[in-house]
Amino acid sequence: MHKFRYVRNQLHCENISIRSLAKKHGTPLYVYSSQTLIDNFNRLHKSVVPLDHLICFAMKSNSNLGVIHTLATMESGFDTVSGGEIQRVIAAGGDPRKCVFAGVGKTEDEISFALSKNIYCFNVESEPELTRINQIANKLKKKAPVAIRVNPNVDAKTHKKITTGTYENKFGIAYEKIAAVYARANKLKNIKLRGLQMHIGSQLTQVKPFEEAVRKVAPMAAKLKTKYGIEFLSIGGGIGIMYEDALASGDPKWWKCKEAKNILTPEKYADTLVPLLKPLGLKVLLEPGRFIAGNAGILVTRVEYVKRTGKKCFAIVDAAMNDLIRPAFYESYHEIVPVKQSRNRPIATDVVGGICETGDTFCKNRLIPRIEEGDLVAMLSAGAYGFVMAGTYNTRPLPAEVLVAGKNAAIVRKRQKVKDIWDGESVAPWQR
């Protein structure tokens, strides 16, 4: 569920009209709903309440300081993947001691920084990384808390670019090797074995792959607990959200509809997984990103031109693939709705950005109510992997971000100025 809905024909985020935000701050504009972040967090938390657990928000999905602060006040932990993300947690008032640090390419500087901030755990992805962490911890006279990421070789049945838990993927250490790697790690003087971690992929819409992975990994976690006293098992992130029917899914009644039965909800996830996890007596870490932030954000854009070619209708908008890359990168679907509710006849439309690439297309031949130059439209479910993946291709400045809480709305990231795009750039000395 989320807090984007039409009130008197105008799309609102909580109590604020999107039109007023676009007027004040311009477009393209990301708008986030605090209440939706909080509701999603609470809903997941409640569903796993029988477990001793910690939700570590995967901040790669949305690392805006306003968003991180909102979740930090909910006592969330954070799943981070760079020294920069740990710095963001601190800048937003979050607790680095609730951070896990994942990723296959941790640098020496990042490891030292994370150790100096006493993070909760490193999620180690390879044996050379384990060696490096041990060496750095030794230099700093510290013990590094570590969980090893097991690659369970389970197909998450999602898009191939966001599948992570098979032996084709670069992540983690093969299931069959784990016992030997823990035995070795246990002998390293500056390593403290704290947990076991896995993550099989993102945007999972069925519980089965999660179940398969947990069934495979739970007995391993039990053995590691007995042998080395590990305290947690992290089951990663990956809970999928609805991209189609995204607007309708904000309606509390909608969830009782027949269609809603086919969606992976936190309740279904918990009903299957809690009974498998509870007997372990371990703390369980969850690393949701998309489930918390995905439907808590939209990208608002204005139609620059409508180009009717006879064969096709193109609505050319002021957002482009540099602002929201998911459709171009994964051919993913984002529902696109007019900001002013419209009774216009639906027309098969390609909504496209202004970048000089054919892939800069948000949707193709999609039936949307006829839109005109100057109209505002919103791309829904853009709160996760939206702004964080934005870039400045074609020297287009990064969009602004607004956070809404009830009747309050504030810029939480200013629109980038064009000249800031080449900040730090110069001509070479001999060109002057």
Catalytic residues: 356
> Which amino acid belongs to residue 329?
F
Binding positions for ligand LLP, 182-241, rule CB under 6 A: 199, 202-203, 236-239
How far, in Å, are 25, 260, 290, 315, 421 from residue 411 at the CA level? 8, 34, 22, 27, 20
The DSSP string of 37-49 is HHHHHHHHHHHTT
Q: Can you tell me which of 78, 291, 362, 387 binds ligand LLP, judged by CB under 6 A?
A: 291
Binding mask 369-388 for ligand LLP (x = CB under 6 A): ---------------xx---
> What DSSP letter does each residue of 16-37 carry, written as one string?
EEHHHHHHHH-SSEEEEEHHHH
Q: How many residues bind ligand LLP (CB under 6 A)?
A: 22
The residue (of 123 and 190) whose beta carbon lies closer to ligand LLP is 123
From residue 325 to residue 344, the character string flagging contacts with ligand LLP as x (rule: CB under 6 A) and all else as - is -x---x--------------
Q: For tokens 């479910």, what's the residue?
A: 381
Q: Is 360 in the site for ligand LLP (CB under 6 A)?
A: no
Does 79 participate in binding ligand LLP (rule CB under 6 A)?
A: yes
- With a CB cutoff of 8 Å and minimum separation 6, the contacts of 117 are 86, 90, 96, 97, 99
Cβ burial, residue 9 (10 Å; 0-12/13-18/19+)? exposed
Contacts of residue 399, defined as CB under 8 A and 6 or more positions apart, other chains included, come to: 27, 28, 29, 30, 299, 319, 323, 387, 390, 415, 416
Q: Please tell me whether residue 172 binds ligand LLP under the rule CB under 6 A.
A: no
Contact indicator for 197, 123 with CB cutoff of 8 Å = yes
Report in angstroms how near the CB of residue 303 gets to ligand LLP at its nearest: 25
Q: Rule CB under 6 A: which of 232-261 touch ligand LLP?
A: 236-239
Smallest gap from residue 422 Cβ to ligand LLP (A): 27
Choice between 17 and 164, CB closer to ligand LLP: 164
Q: Which backbone phi and psi does 162 adopt, to 5 degrees?
A: -125, 25
- CA distance to 264, 266, 272, 288, per residue, from 260 (Å): 9, 13, 18, 21
Is residue 361 near ligand LLP by the rule CB under 6 A?
Answer: no
102 binds ligand LLP (CB under 6 A): yes
88 or 326: CB nearest ligand LLP: 326
Please state whether beta strands 10-13 and 4-7 pair in parallel, antiparallel, or not at all (unpaired).
antiparallel
Give the nearer residue to ligand LLP in terms of CB position, either 239 or 282.
Answer: 239
Report the residue number, 11 or 154, with the smaller CB distance to ligand LLP.
154
Question: Residue 14 or residue 125: which is nearer to ligand LLP going by CB?
Answer: 125
Site for ligand LLP in 45-64 (CB under 6 A): 58, 61
Contact 324, 362 (CB under 8 A): yes
Nearest approach, Cβ of residue 324 and ligand LLP (Å): 10
Q: Does the protein bind ligand LLP through residue 125 (CB under 6 A)?
A: no
Amino acid residing at 152? P
Closest approach of ligand LLP to the CB of residue 236, in Å:
5
Footprint of ligand LLP on this chain (CB under 6 A)? Answer: 58, 61, 79, 102, 162, 164, 199, 202-203, 236-239, 287-291, 326, 330, 384-385
